[in-house]
Amino acid sequence: MALMPKRVKHRKSQRGRIKGNATRGNRVIYGEFGLQAVEGGWISAQTIEAGRIAAQQYVRGEGRLYIRIFPDKSVTSIPLETRMGKGKGEPDFWAAVVKPGTVLYEVAGISEAAAKICFARLAHKMPVRVRMVRREAI
């Protein structure tokens, strides 16, 4: 696994509920265009990496890609055909908790048409609905 934290405070986290909209990380900061989540959910480290590869192949030389989410939630599972009890289970994969409004990826240095095509490729990989947003002047 490429993306996972070096250290965690607690070994196994609880599921929790995704409620409300993102108040932090909901604006395009680093690039000109961003990919924003419309609904909440978990995005696994494998999915984030697959999106990075798909976008990097398109952006290649002229643009720059920024990833704004990091998988810091461990999702555990007990092996199949195991009897009841014996604890919670080992971490299966790492996921990023995404609220509606969170900016997932950003691109800089490419045109709007190119960004639209790049984010269309990324949207196919994402388990949540997304939309393209533009950087707004403050």
Each residue's pLDDT tens digit, 68-100: 999 999 998 888 888 988 888 888 899 999 999
**Model's pTM, two decimal places?**
0.89
DSSP SS3 for 122: helix
| Most confident of the ranges 2-11, 75-84, 97-106 | 97-106
3-state helix, strand, coil in the chain (%, to 5): 20, 30, 50
Task: Show the domains of the chain with their CATH numbers.
Answer: 33-75+91-134 (3.90.1170.10)
Confidence grade of residue 110 (pLDDT, cut at 50, 70, 90)? very high
